[in-house]
Every structure is written in C-alpha cells, then in structure tokens.
Amino acid sequence: MVANITGENEERRVVKAEEILGKIERGEAVEYEGVTVGQGLDLTRLKLPKDED
C-alpha cells in the first residue's frame, strides 16, 4: 500500500527500481516527478567508477 501524502487524488505511476538502476549504470539522467518507486531501490549493488580526488 502506498500512502498519498500530497493531498492529491491522482494515481501515481509506478517506476520499477530496475529501470532507475539501469539508467544510473548507463550514465543517463534520472528524473521523475510524482511517481512511486516499486520493489525497493537498492543502490548498494551498483558498480560505478570511483572519482579520484
């Protein structure tokens, strides 16, 4: 169950966590507004290059 805390009665689109993770891994911009992220977003599994300062 997802609670609507915005006060709006609109049904939100559900974005799969895999879709977001895929975009991050490909270096694509990830921008969503007014969506619900489904299946839990676990960023610990990402294999990203590390910046060297």
* pLDDT per residue as tens digits for the range 31-47: 999 999 998 889 888 87
* Burial of residue 15 (number of CB atoms within 10 Å: 0-12, 13-18, 19+): middle
pLDDT band at 9 (very low <50, low <70, confident <90, very high): low
Q: What is the 3-state secondary structure (H, E, C) of 1-49?
A: CCCCCCCCCCCCEEEEHHHHHHHHHCCCCCCCCCEEEECCCCHHHCCCC
Amino acid at 12: R
- What pTM was estimated for this model as a whole? 0.66
Pairwise CA distance, residues 41 & 22, whole Å: 11
Each domain of the chain, given as residue ranges in start order, spans 13-38
Question: Which residue, among 12, 5, 14, has the nearest Cα to 34 in the 3D structure?
Answer: 12
